[in-house]
Amino acid sequence: GAGVSQSPRYKVAKRGQDVALRCDPISGHVSLFWYQQALGQGPEFLTYFQNEAQLDKSGLPSDRFFAERPEGSVSTLKIQRTQQEDSAVYLCASSLAPMNTGELFFGEGSRLTVL
Amino acid sequence: DQQVKQNSPSLSVQEGRISILNCDYTNSMFDYFLWYKKYPAEGPTFLISISSIKDKNEDGRFTVFLNKSAKHLSLHIVPSQPGDSAVYFCAASARGGTSYGKLTFGQGTILTVHP
């Protein structure tokens, strides 16, 4: 497709389960970002990839969060031992430039609910 | 530490009138500002941006004003249309360095335009 694709769109997990969220960026886009959006809040930065290199992971809230982009295209955000506070929409965004000039193209998000 | 703030959670406007959405920031390193629009169950979509070297940028019905001394920006929509009803996010970026252009978002303002 032409846009950023994320799956699953909705995920319900029991507390303690591991989850994996997938992002398929726009073809050829070098930069890829993950954001977390809690209810009623704006998106908050989690991590940044330039091709396959994870250059910034300062926004990951704990070591239960792990992201990868092994071939510089599709990215996966993994959350281990999910907690209720992990419930949020996880947004993936990509841009063409290696140093983002500002405009990001966002996917529709993966809504995670932890019971 | 909320570096980008949108102090009005919601705004209601009559169709045909002007909508003014406000945003304040605290980080003086921010040099690029954007507005994103978000419909329910969709990802944010880019609307308009402004560089810190300018104080105004216009695109059709949308105009963004930047007041650097006050660390304040605003989005004007004239005339407002019912289809403009959405959540509007202000975002800021410090391009260059090791920021990789990551965006810092405000909490969002829900705009409702009544027919």
User: Which ranges in chain B belong to alpha helices (H)?
Assistant: none
% of chain A surpassing 90 pLDDT? 89
Kindly report, residue by residue over A8-24, the tens digit of the pLDDT. 999 999 999 999 999 99
Are A58 and A44 within 8 A, CB to CB?
no
pLDDT confidence band for B96 (50 / 70 / 90): low
Residue A51 has pLDDT above 90, yes or no: yes
Where would I find the beta strands (DSSP E) of A73-109?
Answer: 75-79, 88-95, 105-106
Q: Give the range among A26-35, A100-109, B33-42 with minimum mean pLDDT.
A: A100-109
* Sign of the four-CA dihedral B25, B8, A85, A20: negative
Nearest to B76 by CA among B47, B52, B54: B47
Q: What percent of chain A has pLDDT over 70?
A: 95
| Chain B residue nearest residue A103, CA to CA | B46
Segment 54-113 of chain A within 8 Å of chain B by CB: 55-56, 91, 93, 95, 97, 99-109
Among A52-56, A100-104, B49-53, name the one with the lowest average pLDDT: A100-104
pLDDT at residue B89 above 70?
Answer: yes
Quote the tokens at residue A9. 């769109």
The answer to whether residues A62 and A68 touch, using CB atoms and an 8 Å cutoff, is: no
Q: What are the helix and strand counts (H, E) for chain A?
A: 0, 11
Determine the Cα angle at A79 with ends A73 and A84, to 5°. Answer: 140
Q: pLDDT, tens digit, for every residue of A57-70? A: 999 999 999 999 99
Q: Are strands A110-114 and A75-79 parallel, antiparallel or unpaired?
A: unpaired
Cα angle value A57/B106/B40 (rounded, 5°): 95
**pLDDT digit string, tens, across residues B47-76:** 999 999 999 999 999 999 999 999 999 999
Q: Are residues A91 and B43, on separate chains, in Cβ contact within 8 Å? A: yes
Closest partner residue to A55 (CB to CB) among B36, B41, B100 is: B100
Q: What pLDDT is recorded for position A1?
A: 55
- Flag whether pLDDT at A81 surpasses 70: yes
Inter-chain residue contact B34 with A101, CB threshold 8 Å: no
What DSSP designation does A84 have?
G
Least confidently predicted of A74-83, B5-14, B64-73, B91-100:
B91-100
Residue type, B89: F
The average pLDDT across A25-46 equals: 94
Element holding B37 (H helix, E strand): strand B32-38
* pLDDT for A87 beyond 90: yes
